[in-house]
A and B are shown apart, each in its own frame.
Chain A
Amino acid sequence: MNKKIFTLLSLLVLASMILAACAPAATEAPAEPAATEAPAEPEESAATEAPAPTEAPAEPEAPSGDMAYECSDEIGCVDIAPGDPVHIAYALVLSTADETLGVDSRNGIEIAVEDRGQIAGHAILLDGEDEQCSAEGGQAAAAKLAADPSIVAVIGTSCSSAARVAVPLLSQAGFTIISPSNTALDLTIAGNENQHPGYARTAHSDSVQGKAAAEFVYNELGLRKAATIHDGSLYAEQLQGVFAEEFQALGGEITGQEAVDPNQTDFISVLTSIAAGEPEIIYYPIFIAAGSLITRQAKDTTGLEDVVLMGADGMFSPDVMEGAGDAVEGLYVSSPDFTVFGDAYETDFVPKYEEMFGTGPLSIFHAHAYDAFMIAADAIEKVAVQDADGTLHIPRQALRDAVYATENHVGMTGNLTCTPTGDCADPHIAVYEYHAGEFPPEKVWP
Chain B
Amino acid sequence: MLRNWRQRVSLTDVIVWAIGVVLAAGVIYGTIVTLRAEIYAGRTWIDLTITGLALGGVYALIALGYTLVYGILKMINFAHGEVFMSGPFTAVFLAIYLDNIGFLNTHPIISLLMITILSATVATTIAVLLERIAYKPLRGAPRLVPLITAIGASFFLQYTFRGLYGSGIKAYPEIDVLQGSWEIAGISIVKTQAVSIVGAVLMMLVIWGISRFTRVGKAMRAVSEDQEVSALMGIDVDRTIMNTFALGGAAAGVAGILYVLLFPIVNFFMGFIPGLKAFTAAVLGGIGNPIGAFLGAMVLGLIEAIGPSLFLTGLGIPAPYQLKDALAFVILVLILIFRPTGILGERISRTKA
Q: Decide if A and B touch, CB cutoff 8 A.
A: yes
- Whether the pair A265, B181 counts as a contact (CB closer than 8 A) is no
Flag whether A178 is at the interface (Cβ < 8 A). Answer: no
Contact residues in B for A322 (Cβ distance below 8 Å): 169-171
Smallest CB separation, B269 vs chain A (Å):
6
Q: A253-293, CB under 8 A of B: which get 1 and which 0?
A: 00001111101111011101101100000000000110011
User: Of A54-62, A185-193, A294-302, A404-412, which binds chain B?
Assistant: A294-302
Flag whether B309 is at the interface (Cβ < 8 A). Answer: yes
Q: B182-220, CB under 8 A of A: which get 1 and which 0?
A: 000000101000000000000000000000000000000
Flag whether B264 is at the interface (Cβ < 8 A). Answer: yes
- Whether the pair B319, A259 counts as a contact (CB closer than 8 A) is yes
Known contacts A268-B51, A296-B264; is-contact A257 B270 (Cβ 8 Å)? no
In Å, the complex CA distance between A326 and B188 comes to: 21
| A301-358 contacts to B (CB < 8 Å) | 301-303, 319, 322-323, 325-326
What is the size, in residues, of chain B's interface with A at 8 Å between Cβ atoms?
A: 44
The binding surface of chain A is classed by DSSP as: helix
- Whether the pair A269, B51 counts as a contact (CB closer than 8 A) is yes
Flag whether A206 is at the interface (Cβ < 8 A). Answer: no
In Å, the complex CA distance between A263 and B263 comes to: 12
- Whether the pair B171, A323 counts as a contact (CB closer than 8 A) is yes
Contact residues in A for B325 (Cβ distance below 8 Å): 261
User: Of B6-14, B42-50, B138-146, B289-297, which binds chain A?
Assistant: B42-50
Known contacts A293-B265, A302-B43; is-contact A269 B306 (Cβ 8 Å)? yes
What is the size, in residues, of chain A's interface with B at 8 Å between Cβ atoms?
A: 34
- Whether the pair B273, A263 counts as a contact (CB closer than 8 A) is yes
| B256-285 contacts to A (CB < 8 Å) | 259, 262-265, 267, 269-270, 272-273
Identify A265's interface contact among B179, B188, B270, CB under 8 A.
Answer: B270
Smallest CB separation, A412 vs chain B (Å):
25
Identify A276's interface contact among B39, B190, B269, CB under 8 A.
Answer: B39
Known contacts A99-B167, A293-B263, A302-B43; is-contact A269 B174 (Cβ 8 Å)? no
Flag whether B288 is at the interface (Cβ < 8 A). Answer: no
Q: B145-170, CB under 8 A of A: which get 1 and which 0?
A: 00000000000000000000001111
In Å, the complex CA distance between A269 and B48 comes to: 6
- Whether the pair B264, A269 counts as a contact (CB closer than 8 A) is no
- Whether the pair A273, B267 counts as a contact (CB closer than 8 A) is no
Flag whether B40 is at the interface (Cβ < 8 A). Answer: yes
- Whether the pair B174, A325 counts as a contact (CB closer than 8 A) is yes
- Whether the pair A263, B269 counts as a contact (CB closer than 8 A) is yes
Q: Of all chain A residues, which has the CB nearest B187?
A: A302
- Whether the pair B170, A269 counts as a contact (CB closer than 8 A) is no
In Å, the complex CA distance between A273 and B34 comes to: 13
Contact residues in A for B272 (Cβ distance below 8 Å): 263
Identify A292's interface contact among B265, B269, B321, B322, CB under 8 A.
Answer: B265
Flag whether A232 is at the interface (Cβ < 8 A). Answer: yes
Known contacts A99-B167, A293-B263; is-contact A272 B174 (Cβ 8 Å)? no
Of the listed residues A232, A264, A268, A269, the one surrounded by the most CB atoms of chain B closer than 10 A to its CB is A269
Known contacts A258-B322, A266-B55, A268-B51; is-contact A273 B308 (Cβ 8 Å)? yes
- Whether the pair B169, A323 counts as a contact (CB closer than 8 A) is yes
Known contacts A265-B263, A265-B265; is-contact A276 B304 (Cβ 8 Å)? no
Known contacts A265-B270, A302-B188, A323-B265; is-contact A273 B320 (Cβ 8 Å)? yes
Q: Of all chain A residues, which has the CB nearest B272?
A: A263
Known contacts A269-B48, A269-B306; is-contact A325 B43 (Cβ 8 Å)? no
Smallest CB separation, B191 vs chain A (Å):
9
In Å, the complex CA distance between A296 and B313 comes to: 25
- Whether the pair B305, A269 counts as a contact (CB closer than 8 A) is yes
Smallest CB separation, A287 vs chain B (Å):
10
Flag whether B318 is at the interface (Cβ < 8 A). Answer: yes
In Å, the complex CA distance between A259 and B319 comes to: 6
Smallest CB separation, B94 vs chain A (Å):
16
In Å, the complex CA distance between A325 and B55 comes to: 21
- Whether the pair B265, A257 counts as a contact (CB closer than 8 A) is no
Flag whether B232 is at the interface (Cβ < 8 A). Answer: no
- Whether the pair B44, A325 counts as a contact (CB closer than 8 A) is no
- Whether the pair B318, A276 counts as a contact (CB closer than 8 A) is no
Contact residues in B for A275 (Cβ distance below 8 Å): 44
In Å, the complex CA distance between A301 and B48 comes to: 10
- Whether the pair B167, A269 counts as a contact (CB closer than 8 A) is no
- Whether the pair A276, B40 counts as a contact (CB closer than 8 A) is yes
- Whether the pair B263, A269 counts as a contact (CB closer than 8 A) is no
In Å, the complex CA distance between A300 and B174 comes to: 14
Q: Of all chain A residues, which has the CB nearest B321?
A: A270
Q: Of all chain B residues, which has the CB nearest A232?
A: B322
Contact residues in B for A265 (Cβ distance below 8 Å): 259, 262-263, 265, 270
- Whether the pair B264, A301 counts as a contact (CB closer than 8 A) is no
Contact residues in B for A293 (Cβ distance below 8 Å): 263, 265
Flag whether B324 is at the interface (Cβ < 8 A). Answer: yes
- Whether the pair A259, B321 counts as a contact (CB closer than 8 A) is yes
Contact residues in B for A269 (Cβ distance below 8 Å): 48, 51-52, 304-306, 308-309, 321, 324
- Whether the pair A266, B190 counts as a contact (CB closer than 8 A) is no
Flag whether B1 is at the interface (Cβ < 8 A). Answer: no
Flag whether B41 is at the interface (Cβ < 8 A). Answer: yes
- Whether the pair A266, B304 counts as a contact (CB closer than 8 A) is yes
- Whether the pair B321, A276 counts as a contact (CB closer than 8 A) is no
In Å, the complex CA distance between A303 and B169 comes to: 29
Contact residues in B for A270 (Cβ distance below 8 Å): 321
Contact residues in A for B188 (Cβ distance below 8 Å): 302
Contact residues in B for A99 (Cβ distance below 8 Å): 167
Q: List 9 A-B contacts (CB under 8 A).
A: A264-B273, A265-B265, A268-B51, A268-B305, A269-B324, A273-B313, A273-B320, A273-B321, A301-B47
Closest 4 CB pairs of A and B: A265-B263, A259-B322, A322-B171, A270-B321
Task: Known A-B contacts: A259-B319, A322-B170. Give 14 more (CB < 8 A).
Answer: A99-B167, A260-B322, A265-B262, A265-B263, A265-B270, A266-B263, A269-B309, A272-B47, A273-B313, A319-B168, A319-B169, A322-B171, A323-B264, A323-B265
